[in-house]
């Protein structure tokens, strides 16, 4: 399954630095935009593996509405 995310990126000291807009905490960098894309995919997958390993038996989910 492919899930699409928004990659926000900028150049800092000749490095492409970016984050996934929809997933807080997923940042990476690369010498090229292509390297940044590969690195951010790896960062996302590592984060998902970490989340899957955490015990979640006590986690509850409740949908809420927020007026914007």
Q: For residue range 29-67, what is the model confidence (pLDDT) as tens digits?
A: 999 999 999 999 999 999 988 776 666 667 777 888 888
For residue 68, give both structure tokens.
Answer: 């914007």
Provide the residue ranges of all domains of the chain, joining segments of one domain with +: 7-50
The whole-number average pLDDT for the span 18-35 is 96
**Angle at CA of residue 65, ends 63 and 66, nearest 5°:** 135
User: Quick one: pLDDT at residue 68?
Assistant: 81
User: Quick one: pLDDT at residue 15?
Assistant: 98
User: Quick one: pLDDT at residue 63?
Assistant: 87
């Amino acid at each position: 399954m492919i899930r699409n995310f928004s990659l926000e990126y900028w150049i800092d000291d000749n490095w492409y630095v970016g984050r996934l807009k929809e997933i807080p905490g997923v940042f990476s960098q690369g010498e090229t935009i292509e390297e940044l894309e590969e690195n951010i995919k790896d960062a996302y997958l590592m984060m998902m593996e970490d989340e899957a390993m955490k015990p979640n038996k006590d986690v509850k989910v409740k949908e809420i509405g927020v007026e914007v």
